[in-house]
Amino acid sequence: MRLNRYLSQCGVASRRGAEEIILGGRVSINGHIIKELATQVQPDDKVVVDGSPVRTETPVVLALNKPKGYLCSRGDTHERMTIYDLLPLKYQNLHHVGRLDKESEGLILLTNRGDLSHRIIHPSQGAEKEYEVVVDQPLNAEVMAKLVKGMMTEEGFARAERAWVDTGYRAHIVLKMGLKRQIRMMLYYLGYEVTRLTRIRIGWMKLHGLAKGAYKELTPTEVERFFKEEPAKPRLERNPAAEAEGESEGRPPARGKGSKDGERRSKPTRGRAGGPPRGRDLSEREPEAREPRSFKPTRGGKKSGPPRRGDAEDKPSRFKPKRDSFSPRSRSSGTARDEKPRGRSGPPARRPAPRGPRRGPTSR
């Protein structure tokens, strides 16, 4: 066993704290100061920390049915009741694995084994916690789907592994996360208020047969089951609301292996009316008979038929011919349509002087 794990099981400190103690030269084995973290401790070795010998404690794991109104804490400044008030003196040094708030009740574990705490608390290890929740309004499948999808709360992103409705006001929720008041906050964001919350399962262990406020010590075989248990796979729950919506739109409900006929119904193929569905071999269809198109020669060796792109004879021009500015038509005072000319080319004509009566030469 590694030295830091040995000190953790002795109750000296956590594994991270034990590493700092070892590097500080405060640990000796058989009279020799040890600063190597990878040092192995044998059963007959004498380990001393700060001049005091230490030894491993006997592993203890308790299962407690926490009543409502008790805190998961060793002490309280307001002198409220804690779960250690329910335990005898010899179990006061145990730490609780996870926690339940004051208004919640149900199963909680207490132990002096750090590896067991890590196995149950850490989300990656796969220890599930199942809760029975009672709310103030009727529940439905849409609310359960939102709990599984997850949402952002004050403590961060929260989601449930599985959730299903038991009765109108009661549901079961399975968690792997351990955010503060997670279930209460998630349902609060969905418009519900939790009136009762009970943890009924941790991993393989269930709450059945344990009275409120009572505890029992687990055997080594029962403790090892927490380490041998494989992470549970997520289970898909039926959504009656989605199935009813599909039937109203004319779609057949999805059937899996558990259907009555034992066969999985395939998806309807989409095809045009009167035509073959998708996925069918179209080579079986007989090709339609088409007559070849014939073109008769015309004058000039051209063939009659649809006009080709670029033929100027069959396509009217989009541009009007530019008017010649030097044509006599443009110099006239008007056009055939009695339109005023837009402009003249060259300088404007001089206006003749007015004519008056002729006068003869005057004599001076």
C-alpha dist (Å) from residue 66 to 3, 5, 84, 175: 35, 30, 10, 19
Q: Percentage helix, strand, coil, to 5, in the chain?
A: 20, 20, 60
Both tokens of 166, joined, read: 């038991």
C-alpha dist (Å) from residue 197 to 130, 132, 193: 10, 6, 11
d(CA 82, CA 60): 20
Residue tagged active-site, from 50, 76, 85, 101: 101
d(CA 135, CA 311): 81
Residue that is written with structure tokens 């991270």 in the block: 16
Q: How many residues does the chain have?
A: 364
Residue 307, CB-side half-sphere exposure with 13 Å CA sphere: 8
Both tokens of 53, joined, read: 């010998």
Main-chain dihedrals φ then ψ at residue 114, nearest 5 degrees: -70, -30
Return the axis-axis angle of helices 114-121 and 220-228, rounded to nearest 10°.
40
Cα distance from N-terminal residue to C-terminal residue, the chain: 152
Residue that is written with structure tokens 């989601």 in the block: 159
Return the axis-axis angle of helices 240-248 and 141-149, rounded to nearest 10°.
120
Active-site residue, 45 included: no
C-alpha dist (Å) from residue 345 to 8, 15, 338, 340: 109, 104, 19, 14
Among 329, 338, 333, residue whose Cα is nearest residue 349: 333
Residue 87, CB-side half-sphere exposure with 13 Å CA sphere: 28
d(CA 228, CA 223): 9
CB 155, CB 101: distance < 8 Å: no
Active-site residue set: 101
